[in-house]
Amino acid sequence: MPNDLLYELFLAFCLMLVIEGILPFLYPQRWRTLVEQLSEIDNSALRIMGFVSMLAGICGLYLAR
């Protein structure tokens, strides 16, 4: 059972890397502009965006199971 969990976590991590790499691969200049814009956002807004993203992920996992 623990090996299955580790395997699934490894697959999820690999899929995350693929998804995260799509934008810089296809549109490097747009990605650079986006990163520059993100650096200007204050920390509290980034924390809220991260929290909402985590909640969406948890809800998605709940619905998938």
**pLDDT on residue 3:** 82
Cβ atoms of residues 24 and 31 within 8 Å: yes
Q: Is 41 left (phi over 0), alpha (psi -120 to 50) or beta?
A: beta
Residues 13-49 have pLDDT tens digits of 999 999 999 999 999 999 999 999 999 999 999 999 9
Alpha-carbon Rg for the chain in angstroms:
15
Average pLDDT over residues 5-20: 92
What stretch of H or E contains 24? helix 2-26
Q: Confidence band (pLDDT; 50, 70, 90) for 65? A: confident
d(CA 31, CA 54): 22
**pLDDT on residue 61:** 85
Q: Could you state, in order of their start, the residue ranges of all structural domains in the chain?
A: 2-64
